[in-house]
Structure 1
Amino acid sequence: MSNTFKALRAELESEELTIKITEIELENLPDGDTTVEVHYSSLNYKDGMAVNGNKARIMRNLPMSPGIDLAGIVSSTSNNNFKKGDEVIVTGWGLGETHSGGYSQIVRVNSDWLIKKPNNISLKHSMSVGTAGLTAMLSVIELEKSGITNSSGEIVVTGAAGGVGSLSIMLLNKLGYSITAVTGRMELEGYLKDLGANNIMSRDDLLAMSRPLNSGKWAGAIDTVGSTLLANVLSAIDYGGSVACCGNASGNDLPTTVLPFILRKIQLIGIDSVYCPRNLRNDAWKRLGELITPEEFESITNEVSLSEIEKPAKLILEGKIQGRTVVNIKDI
């Protein structure tokens, strides 16, 4: 291995933030017991914020690289559970936020963060879904655990055109569920139906459902947005239904009442993909490989090199990205 590698690096120069591809020496890697040669990363909303001026201080320990996901090959480790040559996935744990991230040809991380890539999914395709796919799969698994089956009734997915929302629709469709997709981008109705949505509902129509308890419409839900939209979803869940809550795109508040809980015995289940235990991650990644074929992964994937990341990073913040963007790190 060379003593240097390339990475997209954010640092302060004369109190001015610069983010550019630069050559870095191995000795400048952060602490960790495992070094990984990164092949692919993905583009998430947080990555878009990081690349576009470090909005909301997504990267908190400059200098560092953005990228909250990565997939690559172990080059060295002191953990006996891993060995050189293992194909691994890392998501969460502060990667790209408090720890230098996946937009780098070489990373050094804590081996507790590593997941051995299942044989039924490639490194590239693991990053076709990345954190968004893991979150969507964890959400579906929790609905299943709560007893919601494809015969229980319709599932509503909010933020349907986003990464987690669109992948949730794909997974639910694969499992035979009937799905209502809620979106503020009605021009994407055809795209959402191609993913597997049966019905499309505008965000404004859901916002208008402002009663504390509406007529039951859905057996369950995957909510990616929080705030008033989540409150209105809760008000229309059937008796005994469940809602997986995995995002806060619309806000951290939840202006609801106890009525859906005490009159309809519904459940609100929190989904954490950042510090999720390894056994749950292993199960989720394996199921992603089982449910989505290589051809389907390719159909939702747009690959760019790290040197091409600037344009899609802007588009994701503008809500103009359709499908998933994989970042080829090894071939900068």
Structure 2
Amino acid sequence: MFDAILVEKSGDTGAVSARLVQLNDSDLIANTEGDVTVAVAASTVNYKDGLAITGKSPVVRRYPMVPGIDFAGTVLESANPSWKPGDQVILNGWGVGEGHWGGYAAKARVKGEWLVPLPAAFTPAQAMAIGTAGYTAMLCVLALEAHGVTPDKGEVLVTGAAGGVGSVAVALLAKLGYAVIASTGRLAETDYLKQLGAATVIDRAELAAPGRPLAKERWAGAVDTVGSHTLANVCAGTRYRGAVAACGLAQGMDFPSTVAPFILRGVTLCGIDSVMAPLELRLAAWQRLARDLDPAKLAAMTRHIGLAEVIGAAHDIVDGKVRGRLVVDVGG
């Protein structure tokens, strides 16, 4: 038997509920398809995990579901030639925790092609302090670099900066030499953001309301985790031939913008998908994280919780009450 978080949906009311349960290997085999079984050491709490547990958005595609879109651990059994018992691995995305049982359990059974090796620079807990949020932040940085946004081009903006993606993005960009403007709705976190490397902290209210098609050119590039009017205003304030990496929807899925930033300033809007990213991009992102993320800053943004605390944390992250990263200590 092993501990797990199980999310269920009532057939009568459609209400979603989550609870801490004990499962066994037979439950795992009956409810998963895969060729690698992993002893999960750590997971993390992302915004999508919060949505899955609270039911505030229909991200779970079948029930019952063990949520947790990330995990790190050690291979126990493998029928996949790429992995053998004892290998340390990471999983991010691939619909795990949505349509396939995920990381909020002491054991997971997944397809071997979904796994990447744990970089030697990280422990499993550190990898989950990064998690999908940090891996997504690195994908955003790679996109900005690919579109010519270098530190000498000017400031870069990070929205939702006190959240998981935002915190890692601020730390990464500052380490790489960028002057970072951090936008947050929690100005009480100003000191925290400056410790991560932000040069300037602004109130999210500056960007959250409907704006003009074009605004004063302010930043050479941006990482946006918010969407909606915020993303529209981010694009409107981006400098000529700048780039914006969009990876979130905390404010909304809509994009009330015009073509003006794109056809008058040559701004590039880069969509960032971490769930189905190809293996070579995942490996590149994790290699860069091992090189470019300051371990001290990672530790400063991280708090550890137990599996029993995940349900409460899921509500907190959806309500915008979580700063930085939460690591779930699942097993040894």
> TM-score normalised to the size of structure 1?
0.93
In the TM superposition, 1:83-98 aligns within 5 A as 83-98=84-99
Tell me which residue corresponds to 2:21: 22
Deviation of 1:129 (Å): 1.4
Q: Which deviates further from its counterpart, 101-110 or 315-324?
A: 315-324
Tell me which residue corresponds to 2:33: 31
Relative distance call for 1:11 and 1:252 in structure 2 (3 A) is closer
In the TM superposition, 1:169-318 aligns within 5 A as 169-207=170-208, 210-318=211-319
Q: Which deviates further from its counterpart, 189-198 or 56-65?
A: 56-65
- State the one-letter code of the partner of 1:228: H
The CA RMSD over aligned residues, in Å, is 1.7
Relative distance call for 1:259 and 1:280 in structure 2 (3 A) is same
Q: Which deviates further from its counterpart, 14-23 or 4-13?
A: 14-23
Q: CA separation in 1, counterparts of 2:181 and 2:252?
A: 22
Deviation of 1:209 (Å): 7.2
> Over residues 166-215 of structure 1, what are the superposed CA-to-partner deviations in whole Å (9 max), with x where a residue is unaligned?
11111000001001111222222222111111112212222457121112
Gaps of 5+ in 1: none
Tell me which residue corresponds to 2:127: 126
Deviation of 1:288 (Å): 1.1
> Over residues 24-70 of structure 1, what are the superposed CA-to-partner deviations in whole Å (9 max), with x where a residue is unaligned?
22122111111111000001122223333x33233221122111110
Relative distance call for 1:14 and 1:271 in structure 2 (3 A) is closer
1:10 aligns with 2:11: no
Gaps of 5+ in 2: none
Q: CA separation in 2, counterparts of 1:12 and 1:148?
A: 45
- State the one-letter code of the partner of 1:32: G
Q: CA separation in 2, counterparts of 1:207 and 1:316?
A: 19
Contact 1:157/1:168, CA 8 A, preserved across alignment: yes
> Over residues 57-98 of structure 1, what are the superposed CA-to-partner deviations in whole Å (9 max), with x where a residue is unaligned?
332211221111100111111111111111110111111111
Tell me which residue corresponds to 2:69: 68
Contact 2:167/2:301, CA 8 A, preserved across alignment: no
Q: Which deviates further from its counterpart, 257-266 or 89-98?
A: 257-266
Relative distance call for 1:14 and 1:244 in structure 2 (3 A) is closer
The list of structure 1 runs, each at least 4 consecutive aligned residues, that deviate by more than 4 angstroms after superposition, is 12-18
> Over residues 130-183 of structure 1, what are the superposed CA-to-partner deviations in whole Å (9 max), with x where a residue is unaligned?
000010000001101111111110001111121111111110000010011112
2:97 is paired with a residue of what secondary structure? coil
Contact 1:92/1:274, CA 8 A, preserved across alignment: yes
Contact 2:158/2:169, CA 8 A, preserved across alignment: yes
Relative distance call for 1:155 and 1:27 in structure 2 (3 A) is same
Alignment: residue pair count: 327
* Identical-residue share of aligned pairs (%): 46
